[in-house]
Structure 1
Amino acid sequence: GLVRHYFMRRGSHQADLQVNLTPKEARSEQSHEIAKRVRLTLVPLAKRSGARLQVAEVPPGPPVLQTLVAEVYGPDESRRLDVATRVKAAFESTPGVTDVDWYVERSQPKDHLDVDQEKAAAAGLSAAAVASVVRLAGAGQAVGLLHDERAREDVPIVLRLPRQLRSSTDAVRAIRMGGPTPVAIGEVTRLSTSEEPRSIYHKNLRPVTYVTADVAGAAESPVYAILAMNKVLSKLQLSEGYEFEIYNARQPLDSNRYAMKWDGEWHITYEVFRDLGLAFAAVLLLIYILVVGWFQSFVTPLTIMTVIPISLVGILPAHALLGAFFTATSTIGFIAGAGIVVRNSIILVDFIELRLREGVALSQAVVDAGTVRFRPIALTAAAVIVGAGVILFDPIFQGLAISLMAGGIASLVLSPLTVPILYYLINERAATQTAPATAAAAAETAPGK
């Protein structure tokens, strides 16, 4: 409940119904498909009744308010609500965006029972005693425990009005209180009615209005929904005369201008891919430094690392073929696969240079490397494919498995061809220039010279 802030949704006008599914072995559909089908049936029923209904899945995901969260900022509350209404309309008109809601309550009447101090004193009652009885009528109060041998936990006995009477002011005012002079609550209180003020939300001390939604369409990544809604929101005209700015990574700096920031799972996705990109850049730099130290060359490491993007030739089509999205775990698999690709390239280049030191021609050395070292590369790829196949159908780590397996296959097919050819093209001129000098030196050292 803390993950999606369900503790903020506890009220007399809200309810939470949990449905437990049978084990996955006993049903033919995944839980996500069942949730999508149930949503199509229940949401229209809720709209006809004027209610808001959301279908949440457990586990619900990262600790955010909702998958899609638009934070609308601005100085004036009524004007901010007007802008948030237009943002909410953009949510509702975007295909694949469901469970649209916002953190704005409807206008609700509120009844006040003010204790008449003189009448209460005449009845021998205090204002605190009257307030406690009114609170008991609605919220209830535990007065004991039910002694049930079959109960696994304590079962409290709660005293309060029946459910159908809890929202009735007349039922509360009819409750009689004991004392020197028994009286009804309505006899010692005055009834007044007002409008319940809306909740005020702040983020980092700035007033904000939240608009939330989920995605459940053909493309269930929030990125595609945000890109579609940005096209609509960028055309939003403000009466103040300036452009409606949309932020992704930070809050607006000026709280006196109306603006919006994307939050929710998109913000988590943005930070994850940003950090993974920085980590991948650091990995490439570290690999380059280590290979330079091993081969004592600044060019050879570039030949070895050139094949790292080749794994994408297998990774991206594999995701499309299996209908999977390129997720954060897919990126982790790509980074891990980069180490495997570099290892295969090092094996090839090291074998080429070994053959060159034995006096073999460059053209023959690159051919030998691609044929002789193919077997260890194939064994490495086979081990990766078998190991990653265990998590291929896991809903969380499927992207990791696809990246490792498809990247390994692409490296197996292309690395033994690409690396020797690149090495030959880069070193062909140097080999041609050193060949006559080597032949002359061999002739001078020949017997009889």
Structure 2
Amino acid sequence: MFWVLAFSLIISWLVAVTFTPYLGVKILRAPKQKPGNTGDHYKSSRVYEYLRALITWCVRHRRTVVFITFAMLVLSVAGMAGPVEKQFFPGSDRPEILIDVNLAPGTSVTTTDTTVKRLEELLDSMGGVENYASYVGGGAPRFFISVNPEHPDSSFAKIIVTATGPVERDRIIAALDQHVANGTFAEARIRIRRLLFGPPVDWPVSFRVVGQDPATLRKVAHQVREVMSHNPHVVNPHLEWDQRVPTLKLEIDEQRLRLMGLTPLSVAQQMQYRTDGVPIAEVRQDIRTVDVYVRGQGAKRAQNEPPIYELRNEQGQKIPLSHLGEVKLAYEDAMIRRHNRELFLAVRGEVKNAQPQDVTKALWADLESIHAALPDGYRIDIAGSLERSQEAEDSINQVFPLMIALMVTCVVLQMRSFPGVVIVLLTAPLGVIGSVVALLIFKQPFGFVALLGLIGLAGILMRNTLILTQQVSDNLEDGMLPSDAVVEAAVRRARPVVLTALAAALAFIPLTTDIFWGPMAYVLIGGVIVGTAITLFFVPALYALAFRLESR
């Protein structure tokens, strides 16, 4: 976006100073002088007379105008921090629906597939489904930038449903949510969602409990989940890894192993063959490659007893696994996750009827008591969409000093006076006033894209201020009194400033219906219109105050 805007502005400037004057000379004709007309429409037009009177009043009451303007700015900043909804990136308007199926850790692929088939039967009975694809035992390939492929897991499945349109997509999501709420798939935790724009965010609301001991992490994480469950906007809060899975522990007796004619490697290979299976070939299907596994017969199992596996030595003799050592049935964590090499347990949930960032901030305040009681070496970090939003904003903040330095340099070269530089820079944030009004009126969230629009808006308002101050300098060179020069500059530059502002605002109207660019369009429309109107009256008052001009 930066390079597109940069080249567009540079080329448009070259066209404005070369080709546009050429067209004006070739096409435009000199206006005919009417009888009784002095030729100065700035003096003869009633509109300009009213505008001149209003600007003159602002210059005379400069302190009041400056105070009111800054008060409006403070209220707008408070509105941006409060009532305006926060959003990282909006949802996509694509027709796909993502269905995540999570069963208990350690569940076999066969059991997971049974639940998936029930879901597929339900989808077949619904209208508006164009097609769907199911992936059992792992996630789907990345087909959209915000979709993160999941790790292989026998207890996990993903179904990608393509609806015939946005209306059908929302109807299918509502119907599936109702089935899940009614307990149709009580054996699984099912998550139904649409695609999102922006970088991948696994869960909109998430907290990381960081520490060393898994048992302590689980204890604190349960407390966090309890707090999240009391928030009306959080749906299905859960721990990323909570349930422990049964595992078979074999403490091998090396002497017995040698007597039986086996080695640790042969035991490991035969156990893999009996449990997970061994890859023996690959089958190509179109552009996909599917691994073929061969697996031996299951172990003999008695109720409430560990399974009985039989191995074979080089002589082909059957040897029960229990003869090689002590076989124990133990429980361990299904997975252990690390972030920046630190052990953590994530507590996450879905959000309904609210913005994830607002919900995360509210929960963060509710977790204050848990923070205070954490043992040494343990902490809770914010994850989810708020963390990704902060990372994106930090990447912009890193170049802010350079951006401000370049802007100030350009303004100094133009103004060549400290008060003039201050005047131009003080008008940069005035766009927040109109932006907040537009966001609140049209109920639009403020997100990353809207932030980019707000940054660009500062440049637009600073350009308008430079136009006004340059006209003041021209008027002073023509011999006008300082106070008259300020008023006439605002009057004479009002029409081009207003027309360019309206052109910019009208150009963004088609983007207001776009789900991705809509918030930025509202920020620019509201900021340009209100900011330009304020600038026409605020800049003359501030100029008169900064240079201590006498009122007439």
2:180 and 2:186 in contact (8 A); partners too: no
1:244 and 1:259 in contact (8 A); partners too: no
> What residue in structure 2 maps to residue 226 of structure 1?
360
> What residue in structure 2 maps to residue 139 of structure 1?
276
Q: Could you tell me how far apart the structure 2 residues matched to 1:197 and 1:393 are?
A: 51
> What residue in structure 2 maps to residue 440 of structure 1?
none
1:66 and 1:212 in contact (8 A); partners too: no
Q: Could you tell me how far apart the structure 1 residues matched to 2:354 and 2:196 are?
A: 20
1:43 and 1:53 in contact (8 A); partners too: no
Out of 378-387 and 56-65, give the one that drifted further.
56-65
Which of 78, 98, 104 aligns to 2:235? It is 98
Q: How does 1:217-366 map to 2 (within 5 A)?
A: 217-222=352-357, 224-236=358-370, 243-244=372-373, 256-274=376-394, 276=396, 279=399, 283-284=403-404, 286-366=406-486
Which of 21, 43, 52 aligns to 2:162? It is 21
> What residue in structure 1 maps to residue 345 of structure 2?
210
When the two chains are superposed, the root-mean-square deviation of aligned CA atoms in Å is 4.1
1:115 and 1:130 in contact (8 A); partners too: no
Which of 514, 536, 540 aligns to 1:416? It is 536
2:542 matched to 1:404?
no
2:439 and 2:445 in contact (8 A); partners too: yes
Distance 1:47 1:288, change over 3 A: same
Distance 1:133 1:386, change over 3 A: farther
Count, aligned residues: 406
1:108 Cα shift?
Answer: 2.7
Out of 82-91 and 72-81, give the one that drifted further.
72-81
Distance 1:129 1:21, change over 3 A: same
Which of 183, 186, 192 aligns to 1:45? It is 183
Q: Could you tell me how far apart the structure 1 residues matched to 2:263 and 2:416 are?
A: 91
* Higher RCO (Cα < 8 Å, 6 or more apart): 2
Q: Could you tell me how far apart the structure 2 residues matched to 1:116 and 1:429 are?
A: 98
The one-letter amino acid of 1:293's match is L
1:343 Cα shift?
Answer: 0.6
Q: How does 1:36-185 map to 2 (within 5 A)?
A: 38-39=176-177, 41-42=179-180, 45=183, 48-49=186-187, 51-55=188-192, 57-58=194-195, 62-63=199-200, 66-74=203-211, 76-112=213-249, 128-129=265-266, 131-144=268-281, 151-160=286-295, 181=316, 183=318
Q: Could you tell me how far apart the structure 1 residues matched to 2:385 and 2:507 are?
A: 30
2:512 matched to 1:392?
yes
Structure 1 gap ranges (5+) = 238-242, 246-254, 433-449
1:146 and 1:157 in contact (8 A); partners too: yes
1:286 Cα shift?
Answer: 4.2
Distance 1:236 1:363, change over 3 A: same
Q: Could you tell me how far apart the structure 2 residues matched to 1:75 and 1:134 are?
A: 32
Q: Could you tell me how far apart the structure 2 residues matched to 1:133 and 1:300 are?
A: 82
Q: Could you tell me how far apart the structure 1 residues matched to 2:516 and 2:301 are?
A: 48
* Deviation per residue, 1:124-168 (Å, 9 max, x gap): 876645543442343233434558xx7444454433369xx6997
1:322 Cα shift?
Answer: 2.7
> What residue in structure 2 maps to residue 436 of structure 1?
none
* Deviation per residue, 1:397-441 (Å, 9 max, x gap): 333222222222223333223223333454463577xxxxxxxxx
1:101 and 1:213 in contact (8 A); partners too: yes
Q: Could you tell me how far apart the structure 2 residues matched to 1:43 and 1:61 are?
A: 29
Distance 1:125 1:271, change over 3 A: closer
Q: Could you tell me how far apart the structure 1 residues matched to 2:255 and 2:549 are?
A: 108
Q: Could you tell me how far apart the structure 1 residues matched to 2:488 and 2:215 are?
A: 76
Q: Could you tell me how far apart the structure 1 residues matched to 2:351 and 2:510 are?
A: 27
Secondary structure at the residue paired with 1:110?
strand
Out of 275-284 and 101-110, give the one that drifted further.
275-284
Out of 109-118 and 422-431, give the one that drifted further.
109-118
Distance 1:431 1:122, change over 3 A: closer
Q: Could you tell me how far apart the structure 2 residues matched to 1:191 and 1:105 are?
A: 28
Q: Could you tell me how far apart the structure 2 residues matched to 1:405 and 1:161 are?
A: 68
1:89 Cα shift?
Answer: 1.0
Q: Could you tell me how far apart the structure 1 residues matched to 2:253 and 2:327 are?
A: 13
Q: Could you tell me how far apart the structure 1 residues matched to 2:169 and 2:540 are?
A: 47
Q: Could you tell me how far apart the structure 1 residues matched to 2:169 and 2:508 are?
A: 22
Secondary structure at the residue paired with 2:348?
strand
1:187 Cα shift?
Answer: 9.2
1:176 and 1:185 in contact (8 A); partners too: yes
Q: Could you tell me how far apart the structure 2 residues matched to 1:406 and 1:296 are?
A: 31
Distance 1:256 1:129, change over 3 A: same
Q: TM-score, normalised by structure 2?
A: 0.61
1:344 Cα shift?
Answer: 0.8
